[in-house]
Amino acid sequence: AQKVTQAQTEISVVEKEDVTLDCVYETRDTTYYLFWYKQPPSGELVFLIRRNSFDEQNEISGRYSWNFQKSTSSFNFTITASQVVDSAVYFCALSEGRAGSYQLTFGKGTKLSVIP
């Protein structure tokens, strides 16, 4: 069975600090997809990134970067120079690649508070 662990329940940082959100996953499939979503106080889940299991290249998008390491089953998310607008709950999720629903299995989320 697939599982996603986000060990950090809450993190507080001061504006302009860098912060890394950890994500560790478990799956028996060799083909799978990893996601990060942002859930601001309004409640809507906002898609940030998708990675497939065959692509271990790290990715950078503006102030956001993602580090995917299959050897440690981790898919960590770093926000550089954090801003107050980054305050939200961030979810890591996993979808297995076998034929089927591609349902997402989510971690419990990490609540990030950026203090001005």
Binding site for other proteins (CB under 8 A): 4, 33, 35, 37, 42-47, 50, 52, 91, 93, 95, 100-109
Is the distance from CB of 3 to CB of 13 less than 8 angstroms?
no
Is the distance from CB of 56 to CB of 6 less than 8 angstroms?
no
Q: Which is nearer to other proteins, 39 or 65 (CB)?
A: 39
Q: Which is nearer to other proteins, 46 or 115 (CB)?
A: 46
> Smallest distance from the beta carbon of 73 to other proteins, in angstroms?
18
Q: Which is nearer to other proteins, 13 or 49 (CB)?
A: 49
Distance CA 99, CA 9 (A): 32
Q: Exposure of 10 by Cβ count < 10 A (0-12 exposed, 13-18 middle, 19+ buried)?
A: exposed
Is the distance from CB of 98 to CB of 113 less than 8 angstroms?
no
> Smallest distance from the beta carbon of 91 to other proteins, in angstroms?
5
Q: Which is nearer to other proteins, 13 or 104 (CB)?
A: 104
> Smallest distance from the beta carbon of 15 to other proteins, in angstroms?
25
Q: Give the residue carrying structure tokens 């297995």.
A: 96
